[in-house]
Chain A
Amino acid sequence: MSHSLEAYLILAVLLFGIGTFGFLAKRNAIAMLMSIELMLNSVNLAIIAFGAFTPELAAQASSIALFVIAVAAGEATVGLALVIAIYRNRRTPLVDEYASMKE
Chain B
Amino acid sequence: MADLTRLHAHEMAPLLRSGQVSSRALTEAHLAVAERQNHALNAWLVIYRTDALAQADAADARIAQARREGPAALRALHPLCGVPIGLKDLVSVKGGQATAGSKILKGYIAPFDSTVTARLRAAGAVILGKTNMDEFAMGSSTEHSAYGPTANPWDLNRVPGGSSGGSAAAVAAYHAPLSIGTDTGGSIRQPASLCGIVGMKPTYGRVSRFGIVAFASSLDQIGPLARDARDAAILLHAVSGRDERDATSAPVAVPDELLSLPASDDEAASYLKGKRLALPKEYFVEGMEPGVAARVREAVAVMEQAGAIVEEVSLPHTHYGLATYYIIAPAECSSNLARFDGVRYGHADRSSGEFIADYLRTRGAGFGPEVKRRIMLGTYALSAGYYDAYYLKAQKVRTLIKSDFDAVWAAGFDAICAPTSPTVAFPLGAKLEDPVAMYLSDACTLPVNMAGLPGLSIPAGLSDGLPVGLQIIGAPWSELSMLRLARAYEGITARATWRDLDPAELSLTDDPTTPSPLQRKERLESASAGGSGGQA
Is chain B a partner of chain A in the same complex? no
